[in-house]
Amino acid sequence: MGIISLVTGRPGQSGFGSASTAEQVTEGIDATNLTAIVTGGASGIGLETSRVLALRGAHVVVAARNMEAANEAKQLILKDNKKARVDVLKLDLSSVKSVRAFAESFSALNLPLNLLINNAGVMFCPYQISEDGIEMQFATNHLGHFLLTNLLLNKMKDTARTTGVEGRIVNLSSIAHLHTYQHGIQFDKINDKSSYSDKRAYGQSKLANILHANELSRRLQEEGTNITVNSVHPGLIMTPLMRHSQLLMRTLKLFSYFLWKNVPQGAATTCYVALHPNLKGVSGKYFLDCNEMKPSAYARDEKLAKRLWDFSNKLVDSASRTQ
């Protein structure tokens, strides 16, 4: 899958490519017996992912920080699909307290959990520190999803064990993981304001998404758990995620319009990895345009992934002690 395939939409080995939409890659798939959580499911490709999963019959839980937007998203899904099963729950991924509260609220619904789509994120935002004292892009894009996944993992394991149906976790990363800080992750300077770059901090968080998926995949395979974990790059899409850099992105799009996708195309790779039967048992991989791709050397570094895992646990423990 190279630049020609990206521009022309020519299908890759999977039979799909950059021009494929989320509906097309899930056509004929019955997800009636599945329950999915989609973080950031109230707008952009998260909303389209939620809509298409619901269209295929899945019970979708939209996790969102803005509950008004989440309820509007629910109504949009129901307007086109009156049989859709959609719930909404509040989730602010930049807050350890909110992530824990979401996990408790989901548990109270007494639902199974087959699919976890770690979709939400912030992008290119000015330097900010979360309420837990962590740089905002790292806190929201990586650490919140790291904690959320850990809190929901036992439910996913129970569901996979009792139903015999493979569970799937999908981390939304980005090709931006190639543009990160020196050495990949700034473990010793994660909150350093003087060296902060909004672009590199975003790339760092997206690299962390891949490393998290790879290390979790390794651990689950070691346990023999029937759950796969993969990461995806959705493509270049103009969504609310780009609210901090709209002028830059619109200017860039003028000169690279042939590389950009619409939202249904942007949600395709997520939906493909979440639902397609061809990916049964496939784990620890990175996908672009619905086809497996090789990520950066940092993203394939097992030692870096293990170090990030331990570092993330320490950050979560530290944030939890201050509450």
Mean pLDDT split into 10-residue runs, the chain, 323 residues: 50 93 98 98 97 98 98 97 98 98 98 98 96 98 98 98 98 96 96 97 98 98 98 78 48 48 95 98 97 97 98 95 73
Contact of 83 with 56, CB cutoff 8 Å: no
HSE-CB at 119 with a 13 A cutoff on CA atoms is 35
Retrieve residue 157's tokens: 């394991």
Distance CA 272, CA 16 (A): 9
Distance CA 194, CA 188 (A): 13
Please tell me the pTM assigned to this model. 0.92
Element (H, E) at 67: helix 67-80
Domains of the chain as residue ranges with CATH: 3-321 (3.40.50.720)
Distance CA 315, CA 126 (A): 21
In whole angstroms, what separates CA 295 from the centre of its chain?
16
- The pLDDT score that the predictor gives to residue 261 is 87
Distance CA 253, CA 241 (A): 15
Q: What DSSP string describes 171-229?
A: EE--GGGGS-BTTBS-GGGTT-STT--HHHHHHHHHHHHHHHHHHHHHHHHHHT-SEEE
- The pLDDT score that the predictor gives to residue 322 is 72
Q: Catalytic positions, please?
A: 196
In sequence order, what are the beta bridge partners of 62? Answer: 38, 88
> Is residue 121 classed as helix, strand or coil in its secondary structure?
coil
Name every residue whose Cβ is closer than 8 Å to that of residue 156 and which is 6 or more positions away in sequence.
113, 114, 116, 167, 169, 227
Q: What are phi and psi of 287, to 5 degrees?
A: -120, 140
Retrieve residue 23's tokens: 């509906």
Give, in order, the Cα–Cα distances in Å from 140 to each of 102, 221, 231, 322. 14, 27, 16, 18
Distance CA 182, CA 190 (A): 12
Nearest CA to 23 among 82, 80, 63, 69?
80
Distance CA 90, CA 248 (A): 31
Name residue 265's amino acid: Q
- The pLDDT score that the predictor gives to residue 7 is 44
Distance CA 149, CA 312 (A): 12
